[in-house]
Structure 1
Amino acid sequence: MNCYIAILRPFLPEERKSEKAHKCELNSIKNGICGMGWNPDDSFWKAGKNIINDMSISYDTLNYGKGWKTAFNIYKEMEAGSYILTRTIDDICYVGKIVGTAYHEKGKYNFESYDNYSWIVDVDWKKIGNFMNIPNGLRGLMSGRINTVKRVTDDVHKALLEALYKGMENKIVLKEDNFCTALAPNDLEDLVALYISRENSSYMIVPSSSKVTEPKYEFKFIDMNNCNKPITCQVKNNKPVIASQYESDEFYKIYLFSGIEDYGDIDEIANNIIIIKRSELFILLKEYYNNNEFIRKQLGDIFAI
């Protein structure tokens, strides 16, 4: 199953946040389509649908560069049964199920800006709601820059999209080997903070010490008894955390967590560096999920353990 994230605003970059672009994306959802855009004159078009060769020649003629080829090839591969996620200018998210292959049909719809589309696919859209209502594991995928369309490659993220479309009928079962992929970075950081707090009861987290000011660390904990240096941590969902890079840093304890359990050479790391095992963190997640309503709501109804 292929899955995608796309924007429905076939406009130049400087126009993509305009009112006209917003109307276009809403009309696209209303009419059940998704697509990529350009707006050449009519001389580029020939009658008929699925004109892949003509499309390719036309794009090359306009010299759009490599960007169009990536989007073009993604739309060519789309097929019925795949899922797609979009986020509108006003931060509302929709998930859709593709119901056919991509095509071009000039004038099929009469809403303003429709002809900016070159390549469209029919989609059964469902409104999810505000961006914060979607599963946290998908937020990170949508927080970066998405010019036109991109593939969703991770199996857990694909399952999240499918479950989202089906109205939470099929919950994602969190396991030790998938929870780091399913959870958003901030949720994993919160889980590590709970782990540290449990092991160091005299320490309190300092919210203003977040990695916004110190990118090397997530946040600091201070000793309320004023006896020790601060504690800190670094957390990565699916990337390495190289322990040797923290050896010269002066903290009472430095907790490290990598969801892929890659810490580089750890044969001779400093005594104050503590590596959190994935199995340990998952045990904590299960405990809080089963016993804490706030944690369950924070993760969302789409998950089960």
Structure 2
Amino acid sequence: MMNREIPFLDMRRSPGDIINCWIVYLMPFDSDERSDYDKIHAFQQACIDNNIFGMGWDLTKEPLHFGTPIQEGAEIYKERYGPNRSMEYALNQYKSIRKGDYVLMRLKNGHYYVGRTTGSAIYLQQDQEPFANLSWGCQVERWEEYTSEEDIPSELRGRFSQRRHSTIQRMDKYRPRLLTMKLYEDRQAEPQLKVPHLRFTRENFVRCLDYRQLEDLVALYIWERHGDNGYMLLPSSGKTNQQKYEFRFINARYPGQKPISCQVKNQEEISIEHYNEESDYEKIYLFSGKWSDEVAAAKQSECASNVTVIRPSNLYDTLCHNSIFNSRFYRVADDDEISIEDIALGLRRLGYTDAGHKLRKRASRQYVWDSGKREFLDFVVSDGLFYSEEFGALVRSWGDYSPEEIETIQADLAKCIGMKEHRDEMEQ
């Protein structure tokens, strides 16, 4: 029985000091100037060339000078421009940036840039460009450029597709933070953090796919069920321009057969009654990422005979045998993948206690697991130290734990995987 090595991902610089990731919109211009592509592009490219980013609301001929630390000059700046809710929010966010944080931007040319900061924010204003349009900002070690959206994790692309956004936003969830770190570290000769692929699970796969990928997955699901009967998706004429439908499958073998269509929503509801009266389609498939298997089954009882609600578990099965969704960030689970249930069972056999929601501090051989709602096991309250099924790694997001404690849990997690593999061998 061979134990697998469990990666350890440390998301903090030091005890009590977590590494933050930021989304920055590098657009310190008035609204009437933001349509000037050449002007915006020239400014943003100059920021990239100088390895900097920052916010606007510039101060001129005031006590602040280039290089003033934000902790020293923030109150002077606030008095000059306050009260201004948007400015104060941006200022407070910039005050929170520390050395070693990661920053992700999408610029006017559609390219993405990710960098790691060299220190806290300082006052950047100078006469020459691009500093003339900036007040507070930071320097990065280097910018790593990604020219194609396909090279960016789908859930990060989704953050930039929002219509309304702040000058700067801190990423709260651990998944986008680790994916941002991976964007940067994978380009380094000596990465500080080696982030594994994020594994698709039954619980997370909808969140991992953007709307286009989700539509493609539903198309594969339909083709698997109707392709042998002559149905095919034509790339141009099959794509509908109707609000109620995504695309149509046409029967090439029997031209008189009615088409098949669908509606796909990532995180929105679908009104079934809008489809029950549609008799021009052989089948209408509906999928909403907000519906669990149980909700989908209940919705099916409301449907007409030609309307089918796709259950998430069935769509996930289609995903698992179509590796086209694999990328440098995401991967379809192997058939023999160890589940979170197997890990939990192994921990209990090693003497760990399922503490439920009673875990309040680090304790020997205790963990928290809320089955069915989470994809990770907590060893410390509030996700200080946890095993992530999605990354197959032990993750520390805050707190101080000795190397011996980390190594012990890593070894026990590896033993759990070895136990499952041994049981599988015995059953064969």
Q: Percent identity of the aligned residues?
A: 33
1:15 aligns with 2:45: no
> What are the ranges of 5 or more consecutive residues in structure 2 without an aligned counterpart?
1-18, 188-193, 333-428
Paired residue type of 2:220: L
Deviations along 1:205-247, whole A, 9 cap, x unmatched? Answer: 2444677721222112222213432221122223333433432
Indicate the SS of the match to 1:120: strand
Paired residue type of 1:302: F
Determine the structure 1 residue equivalent to 2:315: 281
Determine the structure 1 residue equivalent to 2:52: 33
Determine the structure 1 residue equivalent to 2:80: 58
Separation in 2, partners of 1:240, 1:99: 44
Alpha-carbon spacing, 1:155–1:237, altered in 2? closer, same or farther (3 Å): farther
1:175 aligns with 2:201: yes
Q: Specify the structure having the higher radius of gyration (Cα).
A: 2
TM-score by length of 1: 0.82
CA RMSD, Structure 1 to Structure 2 (Å): 2.9
CA contact (8 A) 2:114 2:144 kept: yes
Separation in 2, partners of 1:42, 1:210: 62
Determine the structure 1 residue equivalent to 2:303: 269
Deviations along 1:93-118, whole A, 9 cap, x unmatched? Answer: 211223433332444xx751312112
Separation in 2, partners of 1:210, 1:39: 52
1:117 aligns with 2:147: no
Determine the structure 2 residue equivalent to 1:5: 23
Paired residue type of 1:84: V
Separation in 1, partners of 2:120, 2:309: 48
Aligned-pair distance for 1:191?
A: 0.8
Size of the aligned set, in residue pairs, is 293
CA contact (8 A) 1:241 1:258 kept: yes
Deviations along 1:26-77, whole A, 9 cap, x unmatched? Answer: 222233222111234323747842222222222226xxx5443443343233
Paired residue type of 1:54: I
CA contact (8 A) 2:202 2:313 kept: yes
CA contact (8 A) 1:136 1:184 kept: yes
Alpha-carbon spacing, 1:261–1:154, altered in 2? closer, same or farther (3 Å): farther
Write the mapping of 1:228-239 to structure 2, written as runs, cut at 5 A. 228-239=257-268
> What are the ranges of 5 or more consecutive residues in structure 1 without an aligned counterpart?
290-294
Determine the structure 1 residue equivalent to 2:116: 97
Separation in 2, partners of 1:92, 1:156: 22
Alpha-carbon spacing, 1:247–1:119, altered in 2? closer, same or farther (3 Å): farther
Separation in 2, partners of 1:57, 1:211: 55
CA contact (8 A) 2:46 2:130 kept: no
CA contact (8 A) 2:144 2:184 kept: no
Separation in 1, partners of 2:198, 2:308: 30
Indicate the SS of the match to 2:222: helix
Determine the structure 1 residue equivalent to 2:287: 257
Indicate the SS of the match to 1:42: coil
Write the mapping of 1:199-218 to structure 2, written as runs, cut at 5 A. 199-201=225-227, 202-208=230-236, 213-218=241-246
TM-score by length of 2: 0.60
Correspondence for 1:187 among 201, 205, 213:
213
Alpha-carbon spacing, 1:60–1:162, altered in 2? closer, same or farther (3 Å): same
